[in-house]
């Protein structure tokens, strides 16, 4: 169950929320989608789950186009939206049964009971949702996202607004259900990513600015150079990483790479382009936007 995001742009009126974003998530990955408020995280997740269309670009979940076959995609994807909208007047069990009905599950009762058990709702399932604490409401949100046993889970800030104990409980629950699933969860807390994820994608102002394993995030050295280069053709990431002095690379947009390097390799980039039968369309040394973003993110944590 892979997710493939190709050149996705989303414009709301005059606000560009996503700017030509491309990346893929492979089966079994737990990807933390990290970024400050307003970065475009929720917008990306609504597009992946087929709730809103992109202005341009394509998203495929397991090769199924989310615009053309949004119903098919929804069957395979569990989604916990931001702010977890729930029917506060409904009883927990009644609500989960209602969700199971929407998915036309044949083993409805069994699945509802299983979800109540799995998400630790057993002591609360007879209550109306409005009477539950924020932590238990979040469990109901996770139960509805998991009820049809989706192989892909999209969780938008699953621990936001919870107290420290509830945060630990929800994180453990996510880790528990993670096996055999592909998960993307958004957060603006760096530590959350380190606790749950095996990969982190950082977005800022609608552009991906880093993509790495969590351990490497935050290790940006202020002495390093950040170079942004646009090639005329697609370039192999492994070849770029092999250039002497390169510390990390990320494809921010199609054929546009942000390269972190220990010394100024601009001349080497031109030579690299020639050696790979391509050419450089644009090249600039950037402010250390990674460092800036990390500072901002750590501040929130």
Q: Does 12 bind ligand ADP (CB under 6 A)?
A: yes
Q: Which of residues 6, 53, 76, 82 is near Mg ion by CB under 5 A?
A: 82
Closest to Mg ion by CB, 38 vs 245, is 38
Sole window of 5-13, 33-41, 122-130, 171-179 interacting with Mg ion (rule: CB under 5 A): 33-41
Q: Pick from 117, 120, 115, 132: which is nearest to 170 by CA?
A: 120
Q: Does 39 bind ligand ADP (CB under 6 A)?
A: yes
Tell me the CB-side half-sphere exposure of residue 168, using CA atoms within 13 A: 2
Number of residues that bind ligand ADP (CB under 6 A): 12
Sole window of 35-43, 144-152, 163-171, 240-248 interacting with Mg ion (rule: CB under 5 A): 35-43
Residues paired with 3 in a beta bridge: 25, 61
Q: Which of residues 8, 34, 41, 197 is near ligand ADP by CB under 6 A?
A: 41
Q: What's the min distance (Å) between Cβ of 251 and Mg ion?
A: 23
Q: Does 141 bind ligand ADP (CB under 6 A)?
A: no
Closest to ligand ADP by CB, 40 vs 150, is 40
Q: Does 42 bind Mg ion (CB under 5 A)?
A: yes
Sole window of 11-19, 84-92, 164-172, 226-234 interacting with ligand ADP (rule: CB under 6 A): 11-19
Q: Which does 53 bind (CB under 5 to 8 A by kind): Mg ion, ligand ADP, none?
A: none
Q: What's the min distance (Å) between Cβ of 196 and ligand ADP?
A: 18
Sole window of 8-16, 76-84, 89-97, 217-225 interacting with Mg ion (rule: CB under 5 A): 76-84
Q: What's the min distance (Å) between Cβ of 290 and Mg ion?
A: 21
Interface residues with ligand ADP (CB under 6 A) are 12-13, 15, 17, 35, 37-43
């Amino acid at each position: 169950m892979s997710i493939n995001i190709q050149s996705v742009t989303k414009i709301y009126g005059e606000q560009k929320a996503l700017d030509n974003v491309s990346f893929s998530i492979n089966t079994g990955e737990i990807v933390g989608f990290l970024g400050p408020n307003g970065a475009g995280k929720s917008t990306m997740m609504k597009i992946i789950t087929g709730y809103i269309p992109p202005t341009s670009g394509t998203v495929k979940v397991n090769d199924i186009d989310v615009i053309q076959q949004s119903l098919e995609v929804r069957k395979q994807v569990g989604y916990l939206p931001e702010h977890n909208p729930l029917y506060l007047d409904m009883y927990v069990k009644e609500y989960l049964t209602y969700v199971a009905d929407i998915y036309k599950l044949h083993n409805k009762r069994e699945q509802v009971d299983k979800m109540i058990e799995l998400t630790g709702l057993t002591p609360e399932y007879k209550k109306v949702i409005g009477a539950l604490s924020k932590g238990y409401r979040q469990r109901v949100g996770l139960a509805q996202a998991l009820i049809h046993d989706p192989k892909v889970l999209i969780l938008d800030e699953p621990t936001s607004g919870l107290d420290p104990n509830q945060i630990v409980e929800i994180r453990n629950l996510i880790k528990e259900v993670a096996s055999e699933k592909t998960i993307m969860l958004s957060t603006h807390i760096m530590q959350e990513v380190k606790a749950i994820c095996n990969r982190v994608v950082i977005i800022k102002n609608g552009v991906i600015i880093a993509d790495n394993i969590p351990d490497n995030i935050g290790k940006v050295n202020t002495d390093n150079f950040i170079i942004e280069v646009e090639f005329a053709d697609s370039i192999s990431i492994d070849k770029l990483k092999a250039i002497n002095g390169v510390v990390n690379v990320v494809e921010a947009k199609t054929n546009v790479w942000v390269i972190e390097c220990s010394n100024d390799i601009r001349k080497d980039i031109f030579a690299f382009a020639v050696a790979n039968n391509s050419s450089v369309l644009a090249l600039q040394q950037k402010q250390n936007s990674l460092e800036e973003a990390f500072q901002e993110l750590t501040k929130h944590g």
